[in-house]
Amino acid sequence: MRTTSFKLSRFIGPVSFYKYAFSLAIPLGITNLLAISMGALDTLMISWIHQVSAVGTATQIEVIALNVVWACAAGTGIYAIQFFGAGDYKNLKRCFGLSISCAAFVGILTYGVITFFSASILHFYIQNDEVIWNGCQYLRIAKYAYILMSFQLSFSVIYRNLGKPFYPFVIGMITFLMKMLWNVLLIFGYAGFPKLGIIGAPLASCIAHSIALAVNIILAYKTKQPFVGKIREMFSYDLSFIRRILPRIRPLLLNEILFGFGNTLFVKAFGFLGIEAMNAYYIGAKIGDLFFAVANGFSDSISSIIGISLGQGKLKEAGQQSMYLISMAIGLCLGAVILITCFSPFLVSLFEVQSASVLNNAIWIVRIFALRIGMRFFIVIIFGTLRTGGDTKALMFLDSGLMYMVGLSIAFGSILVFHVQSIVLVFLLCQTEYVLRILFGMMRYRKGLWKTNLVS
């Protein structure tokens, strides 16, 4: 009995630790929630003009593009956190400069792809001419917003990595409020503005993110953040610096490309079930994304806490901190499952849904997302810890590897081979991927290979 108590005590940290963890996780979670809410806001308002499938399908390009930008920012962030912990601000600035360069490249590449191939890409996901045409109208404006969002994401990630959640929180709030205001004005034509319908949403995004990017730049220099400096300081990285960081970025980048594309392939699979199934999934997914944002804020706080300890060479302390976070995840898991399950009918009722079957399916999809998000709180501990310690190859298997081998195989197999017609049942079966992710992830985590100082 005494031995069991001792083992359990390893997972219970001091109150001061949890206060610190929540002081990071709460603002980061709210910041992520605000960012995701902008997509949900588009879906909500677009549902009132009956264009959910068009926007939902069009934004699959956004999913892939921003995943790649995030991978570059997170990959350079692995080193940025540890350089910050070690007090090496010269290389911290270089890390941020490299992240900005990657964001510019991906943003411009996405602009080009949308300009020349948007119709072909949308046709891959759905074979409805009206949905494709409306989706192309949306992307015609959205391609400019994606460039701005790429830069903004680089700022947001570096602040989170350095344990400074207040700045992205404030900027996220400004962006959300501007987005909501301009959505109302431009989609529905209030206060004398033209009624633009579906193209009003991406135009509102361009305005909101332009303001947010300007605030980001001004704020970073006014507050003398350690990751910004003169142009030559930030962009003075050479090939030797890139070669040092690239081995850690490459698997993370490949993983995010595969993971982002894999997420869009679920849309392709569900598209075989028809427009009503797609509408139910898009509504359920947007609601689920709101709660995923909170889990991802938890992940960002893990990266900051553990990464700084690793950068300071406190490997044992980093290991103990990760154990403390497991007990924190249990409470968050239970809370998320209960909260989302209870409020799923109300959340779905906010959307303009004309079909009873779409309404019912969307409610059940949100309830399945409750289980998925509960499991996500455990997964972010594993992924955040492995990523911070540079164990990115294992992360690629756990993330995109299991998605393709398990999740997508079940999705396409159940629909095309076993002819399952229920979107709810197919989505429930796909959660096997998350169960295996926890099991294999814990096995890798317990090996402790992630306890590595990368900068000394």
Look at the block and give the residue holding tokens 């992240």.
99
Look at the block and give the residue holding tokens 């409750």.
370
258 membership: H or E segment, kind and range: helix 239-271
Burial 180-207 (b: 16+ CB within 10 A, else e): bebbbbbbbeeeeeeebbbbbbbbbbbb
Q: How many CB atoms lie within 10 A of CB 349?
A: 12
Query: What's the pLDDT score for residue 365?
Result: 92
Confidence band of 4 (pLDDT split at 50, 70, 90): very low
Angle at 154 between CA 302 and CA 215, to 5 degrees: 110
Q: Which of 70-74, 114-118, 207-211, 383-387 shows the lowest per-residue confidence on average (mean pLDDT)?
A: 383-387
Residues 126-170 have pLDDT tens digits of 888 888 898 899 999 999 999 999 999 899 888 877 878 788 888
Q: In a 10 Å sphere around its CB, with 0-12 CB exposed, 13-18 middle and 19+ buried, how is residue 393 labelled?
A: middle
416 membership: H or E segment, kind and range: none
Residues 279-305 have pLDDT tens digits of 888 888 888 877 877 777 777 666 667
Residues 27-63 have pLDDT tens digits of 777 777 777 777 777 777 877 777 777 887 888 788 7
3-state secondary structure of 455: coil
DSSP 8-class letter at 198: G
Look at the block and give the residue holding tokens 């730049």.
217
* DSSP assignments along 95-135, one per residue: HHHHHHHHHHHHHHHHHHHHHHHHHHHHHHH---HHHHHHH
Q: Find all residues with CB under 8 Å of 280, minimum gap 6, and list them.
A: 357, 358, 361, 362, 365, 423
User: Encoding tokens for residue 289?
Assistant: 């994304």
Look at the block and give the residue holding tokens 């398990």.
406
User: Encoding tokens for residue 393?
Assistant: 């190859």
Q: Mean per-residue pLDDT for 371-391?
A: 79
The strand ranges marked E within 151-299 are none
Dist CA 267 CA 315 (whole Å): 41
Tell me how long the chain is.
Answer: 456
Query: What's the pLDDT score for residue 145?
Result: 92
pTM for the structure as a whole? 0.72
Residues 87-124 have pLDDT tens digits of 888 989 998 999 899 899 989 999 999 999 989 988 88
Name the phi and psi angles at 438, rounded to 5: -65, -45
Look at the block and give the residue holding tokens 């709810």.
424
Residues 422-448 have pLDDT tens digits of 999 999 999 999 999 988 888 887 777
> Based on C-alpha coordinates, what's the Rg of the chain?
22
351 membership: H or E segment, kind and range: none
Query: What's the pLDDT score for residue 424?
Result: 94
